[in-house]
Each structure stands twice: as structure tokens, then as C-alpha cells.
């Protein structure tokens, strides 16, 4: 039986575009503190391995329709520092963008978070460059985008050298002899690279975990290489079990070719389960969420300028091979209409039926809105009972497709709590997830050893830029 890694990707107003509109959902970012505290306590009582906080360094009207959770959200490092004070064992992972962050400042804040949490902090390094984010940081977008992975490689190595500024026994604290610090065990960073120049040493002692576990997400060739060489946890969005298994094997092979123990690279997939007391109940939740998603045709004179281009009947027309322009988004998808669909359109109808229980041949056929939503909402969705979702998780783990999952919740707090109090106990009953924490640090939750000090072990001698 595979022991799964399970964390939660926290989005306070829900991860589904219409999640905030669902009855009883949290929808006011000004009250996020209470929701985050409740989610952390529920997650820890379920013995989840970590809470994961993503980030986006800009905002705008377009995000209201595309990804409402991005419009206004608290800083990830602030979130994990806050939650460290109301939890005891769960890991806490924050996101930072290497295109804009300062490595010394980030090393200091993350080392501090690890010390203050007792070794429970993790760091998700992202490299994305976006025009508004670049402008917010006084950077040229094109220059930042072209160099982002080269900078990220330097950034990761500098972080580790900064975290290792103090050897574990550098602070002597010999009151009788009047010796506080052994200066031979305090190391400068001494890095002068193409994108970064950092003198060091860091003014924070070595983190409890030595190095915080580093996470990286992405499926591009450069992203995979960075994850294989530098990450402890690779977060990879996939469409199914076979693709997940292939990507995990590819990442492990790249890690091995890079000279590391490939078993130390853990691969997890983001997934959005919709949990119900029965399968029909779960499908009814998915159905209502679909009906609450706005599409372009909801505006008679055209959608707002910032509306997502792909969320329209015009977009679905190209996918299904039949012109749907001018039709009502609430028109039923009948067998006659489906008969003219392409193979991709037929597959889309099957996806809608699996998620919502609506079939063109049933008493409650889907509408064109359901097709638009299924085609435009980019998430790996599983709909079912706690037992059915646990079976799916278990199958992926036993097939070697993933080491675990990063779970999104369509609605906060209801769907998050349905997962934590339904699916997790089912996995525990089957032996796929522990009933108690097996360690005290995030590295231990992930099955990772504490690394040696790079200044002593010289683990980064191959990286240029060191003085």
C-alpha cells in the first residue's frame, strides 16, 4: 500500500470560478483570517501533510471572471507565519517569485518562519513573469521573462548558501568563557553571478530543517529540468493517470541524470474533488457550480472587456465542430444536437455527464452552459463520494503515477471540510494515509532527510558565480 502525500492548496474564497457564489460560501477577503485559521485547524486534525499558499503579484478586473481568488489575497509568507501560531504539526508552504524577489530578504524571512514554526515551513519557487507584475516591481517584462529560469537557478543556489550561513553548532553560547559565536563556522555567501550578487552571511541561524523543502510547478521542458535538479516536491498538473505516470517517470529520470537520488524528488498533482454524501449529491453540487459560472453570452451586448476569451459558445463551437453562435446558453443539449458533434464534442458531453449526472439521453439534459464550463475551467476534477474519491487517489498512488496530491476546494469551507472529514479518514482506514503525524517537520512529513551544510559538503561547486 502506497503512503500518499496529501496537502491542501488554500484559496480562501474557493478554487472554482463560481465557488464564492455557492450558498454558504466564504466570499469576503476582509474576513480571510477566520477562514484560514479554521481551515488550518481542520487540516491538522485530519493530519494533512501541508497547507500550500500560491501567489499572484498583480490584480485587475479580468481576474474577477477568470480566477476570482486572485483578485485580493493575503501575502503567502504572512499567511504561513500567522498559521504557525495556531497549529503545531502541519507543514506550511509559501510561494515566492524568483523573477522579483530579493534572495537575502527571502532567505531571512523563510529561515525565520522555519525557526518560529519548529521546522514546518516550505517554499514554492515560481518563475513566471507577467506584464502587470513586472510593472509593479519596476522591471522590464520581456527582459525578466527571457532570463527567468537562469535567474531561478542562481536564486535557488544562493538561498541554500544563505540558509547555511551558520553551521548547526556555530552558536557556542559559552557564558563562562564569554564566547557566543565560533567565527570559523559562519560562512559568507560570496556569490557574484549573471543575475544575482549576494555577499552574506545571513543574519539568521540555520533553519530547523537545514533547508526548507523547495517546491516547483510546471510542465515545460525548462520547468521540468529545474524541478528535477533543484526541487524536493514537483507540482505537476495532469489530465489523467497515464500522463501523470509518464511525467513522474520523466522527472525521476532527469533527477537521476542530474546526479541526485531520484527517490528524493516527490511528485504531486493538483486535484479538485467535489465530495457528496452520495454520487448524485456530489453531481448536484458540481451541477450548481456549473450553472453559477458566467459565460460571454450572459451579456446581451457582449461581455465586459476583461472577460476570458475562452468562456463562450464561440469557443465551444470550434471544439465541438458545430456553430452554436446565437443560441441561448441555457438551451438543452439534446441527442439531435449531439449527433452533429465532433469526437472532441462527444468527449465533452461525456465529461459533463460524469461530473453533473446530466446526459442528453436522460431526464435532465445538460445545457450549452455546461459544455462551456467543462471546456474552460482548467482543473482536474473528481466528483463522487468520499469512498469513490479515496479509491481514485489510491489507484494513482499504487500505479506509481504520483507520490500524492495537492487538494483544491471548490467552496470554502464546506468542500474543504467534506474532503478532510470524509475522504481523508477513508484513506486512513485503507492504510494509504497515516492516522497520526510521523514526524515534527515538513521534511519528515514528505519523507525527506535533513541535508548537509553546502559550505561544509561543497554540494554546489558546479554552479558558477561563487567567489
CATH number of residue 391's parent domain: 3.20.20.30
User: Do residues 23 and 418 make contact, with C-beta atoms less than 8 angstroms apart?
Assistant: no
pLDDT exceeds 60 at position 466: no
| Residue in 66, 64, 34, 68 with CA at minimum distance from that of residue 413 | 34
pLDDT, residue 147, reads 87
Q: What percent of the chain has pLDDT over 70?
A: 98
pLDDT, residue 134, reads 86
- State pLDDT tens for residues 51-93: 999 999 999 988 998 899 999 999 999 999 999 999 999 999 9
| Residue in 222, 208, 240, 200 with CA at minimum distance from that of residue 84 | 208
pLDDT, residue 460, reads 54
Which residues make Cβ contacts (< 8 Å) with residue 284, sequence separation at least 6? 276, 356, 357
- State pLDDT tens for residues 106-130: 999 999 999 999 999 999 999 987 8
> Is position 436 within any domain?
yes
Same domain, 392 and 431: yes
pLDDT, residue 44, reads 98
Same domain, 207 and 301: no
Domain edge (last residue) among 376, 403, 435: 376
Same domain, 266 and 329: no
Phi and psi at 61, nearest 5°, equal: -65, -30
Q: What percent of the chain has pLDDT over 90?
A: 90
The mean of the pLDDT values for the chain is: 95
User: Do residues 337 and 392 make contact, with C-beta atoms less than 8 angstroms apart?
Assistant: no
Domain edge (last residue) among 325, 343, 376: 376
> Is position 284 within any domain?
no
pLDDT exceeds 90 at position 199: yes
pLDDT, residue 284, reads 98
Same domain, 128 and 218: yes
Same domain, 112 and 246: yes
Same domain, 261 and 153: yes
Same domain, 309 and 258: no
pLDDT, residue 9, reads 98
Same domain, 10 and 153: yes
Phi and psi at 348, nearest 5°, equal: -65, -40
CA torsion 265-259-102-54 (nearest 10°) is: -20
Rounded-to-integer distance, Cα 441 and Cα 31, Å: 29
- State pLDDT tens for residues 213-259: 999 998 899 999 999 999 999 999 998 999 999 999 999 999 999 99
- State pLDDT tens for residues 276-309: 999 999 999 999 999 999 999 999 999 998 898 8
- State pLDDT tens for residues 361-384: 999 999 999 999 999 998 899 999
> Is position 283 within any domain?
no
Three-class SS of residue 296?
Answer: helix
> Is position 17 within any domain?
yes
Same domain, 168 and 224: yes
Same domain, 371 and 420: no
> Is position 172 within any domain?
yes
pLDDT, residue 296, reads 95
Three-class SS of residue 179?
Answer: strand
pLDDT exceeds 70 at position 462: no
Domain count across the chain: 2
- State pLDDT tens for residues 141-192: 877 777 899 999 999 999 999 999 999 999 999 999 999 999 999 999 999 9
Domain edge (last residue) among 350, 376, 402: 376
| Residue in 93, 123, 87, 118 with CA at minimum distance from that of residue 208 | 118
Q: Which domain holds residue 215?
A: 5-276+380-462
Same domain, 235 and 353: no
> Is position 287 within any domain?
no
Same domain, 261 and 410: yes
pLDDT, residue 139, reads 85
Range with lowest mean pLDDT among 28-32, 94-98, 374-378, 405-409: 374-378
pLDDT, residue 142, reads 72
> Is position 467 within any domain?
no
Amino acid at each position: 500500500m502506497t503512503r500518499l502525500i496529501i496537502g491542501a492548496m488554500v484559496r480562501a474564497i474557493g478554487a472554482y470560478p463560481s465557488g464564492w457564489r455557492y450558498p454558504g460560501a466564504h466570499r469576503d477577503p476582509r474576513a480571510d483570517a477566520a477562514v484560514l485559521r479554521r481551515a488550518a485547524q481542520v487540516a491538522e486534525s485530519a493530519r494533512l501533510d501541508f497547507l500550500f499558499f500560491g501567489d499572484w503579484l498583480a490584480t485587475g478586473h479580468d481576474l474577477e471572471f477568470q480566477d476570482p481568488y486572485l483578485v485580493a489575497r493575503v501575502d503567502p509568507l504572512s499567511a504561513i507565519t500567522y498559521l504557525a501560531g495556531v497549529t503545531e504539526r502541519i507543514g506550511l508552504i509559501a510561494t515566492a517569485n524568483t523573477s522579483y524577489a530579493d534572495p537575502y530578504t527571502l532567505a531571512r524571512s523563510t529561515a525565520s518562519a522555519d525557526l518560529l514554526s519548529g521546522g514546518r515551513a516550505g517554499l514554492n519557487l515560481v518563475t513566471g513573469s507577467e506584464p502587470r507584475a513586472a510593472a509593479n516591481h519596476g522591471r522590464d517584462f520581456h527582459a525578466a521573462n527571457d532570463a527567468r529560469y537562469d535567474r531561478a537557478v542562481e536564486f535557488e543556489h544562493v538561498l541554500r548558501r544563505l540558509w547555511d550561513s551558520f553551521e548547526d553548532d556555530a552558536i557556542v553560547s559559552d557564558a563562562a568563557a564569554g564566547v557566543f559565536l565560533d567565527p570559523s563556522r559562519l560562512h559568507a555567501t560570496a556569490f557574484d553571478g549573471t543575475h544575482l550578487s549576494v555577499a552574506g552571511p545571513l543574519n539568521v541561524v540555520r533553519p530547523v530543517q537545514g533547508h526548507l523543502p523547495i517546491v516547483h510547478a510546471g510542465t515545460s521542458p525548462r520547468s521540468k529540468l529545474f524541478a528535477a535538479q533543484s526541487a524536493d516536491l514537483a507540482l505537476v498538473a495532469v489530465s489523467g493517470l497515464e500522463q501523470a505516470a509518464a511525467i513522474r517517470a520523466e522527472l525521476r529520470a532527469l533527477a537521476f541524470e542530474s546526479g541526485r537520488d531520484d527517490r528524493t524528488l516527490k511528485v504531486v498533482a493538483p486535484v479538485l474533488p467535489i465530495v457528496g454524501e452520495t454520487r448524485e449529491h456530489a453531481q448536484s453540487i458540481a451541477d450548481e457550480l456549473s450553472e453559477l459560472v458566467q459565460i460571454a453570452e450572459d451579456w446581451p451586448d457582449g461581455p465586459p472587456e476583461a472577460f476570458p476569451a475562452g468562456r463562450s459558445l464561440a469557443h465551444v463551437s470550434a471544439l465541438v465542430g458545430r456553430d452554436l453562435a446565437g443560441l441561448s446558453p441555457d438551451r438543452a443539449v439534446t441527442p439531435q444536437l449531439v449527433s452533429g458533434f465532433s469526437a472532441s464534442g462527444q468527449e465533452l458531453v461525456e465529461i459533463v455527464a460524469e461530473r453533473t449526472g446530466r446526459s442528453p439521453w436522460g431526464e435532465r439534459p445538460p445545457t450549452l452552459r455546461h459544455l462551456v464550463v467543462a471546456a474552460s475551467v482548467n482543473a482536474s476534477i473528481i466528483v463522487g463520494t468520499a469512498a469513490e474519491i479515496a479509491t481514485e487517489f489510491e489507484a494513482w498512488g499504487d500505479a506509481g503515477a504520483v507520490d500524492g496530491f495537492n487538494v483544491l476546494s471548490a467552496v470554502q469551507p464546506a468542500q474543504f471540510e467534506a474532503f478532510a472529514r470524509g475522504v481523508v479518514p477513508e484513506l486512513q482506514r485503507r492504510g494509504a494515509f497515516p492516522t497520526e503525524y510521523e514526524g515534527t517537520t515538513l521534511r519528515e512529513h514528505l519523507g525527506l532527510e535533513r541535508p548537509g551544510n553546502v559550505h561544509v559538503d561543497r554540494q554546489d561547486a558546479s554552479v558558477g558565480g561563487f567567489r
